[in-house]
């Protein structure tokens, strides 16, 4: 169930980014942003899965928190930080350039 919620969050973010990029820069940029998100998610899930496999028993922490779910949680937290910074920089660039220094 936790994994389904995490996948739903990723799907909602994907749709949101595609809509945002399509409105601001066109469908080509939206497709590139979607591909970027999918590639980052796939690679990050693979790497976190390898790390969790080394550190956690196959049963996981609880019946609802197995190794795959733990690796998805790690990926989601890391992506939240990364995408917040990455897309904030892109948004600032598209909304008028750098902010004036004081």
pLDDT digits (tens, 9 = 90+) for 39-92: 999 999 999 999 999 998 888 788 888 888 999 999 999 998 988 887 788 777
CA pair distance 86, 102, nearest whole angstrom: 24
Asked if residue 76 belongs to a domain, the reply is yes
Residue 99 pLDDT greater than 80, yes or no:
no
CA pair distance 61, 69, nearest whole angstrom: 10
Name residue, tokens 């897309």.
87
* Domain total of the chain: 1
Residues in CB range of 86: below 8 A, 6 or more apart: none
In this prediction, residue 2 carries a pLDDT of 87
pLDDT digits (tens, 9 = 90+) for 29-41: 999 999 999 999 9
User: What is the reported pTM?
Assistant: 0.74
CA pair distance 14, 76, nearest whole angstrom: 13
In this prediction, residue 100 carries a pLDDT of 47
Asked if residue 98 belongs to a domain, the reply is no
Helix (H, G, I), strand (E, B) or coil at 62: strand
Asked if residue 48 belongs to a domain, the reply is yes
Asked if residue 97 belongs to a domain, the reply is no
């Amino acid at each position: 169930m936790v994994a389904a919620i995490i996948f739903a969050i990723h799907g909602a973010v994907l749709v949101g980014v595609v809509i945002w990029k399509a409105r601001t820069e066109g469908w080509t940029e939206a497709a590139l942003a979607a591909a970027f998100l999918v590639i980052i998610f796939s690679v990050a899930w693979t790497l976190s899965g390898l790390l969790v496999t080394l550190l956690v028993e196959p049963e996981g922490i609880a019946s609802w928190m197995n190794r795959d779910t733990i690796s998805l949680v790690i990926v989601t937290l890391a992506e939240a930080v990364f995408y917040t910074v990455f897309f904030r920089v892109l948004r600032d660039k598209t909304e008028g350039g750098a902010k004036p220094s004081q």
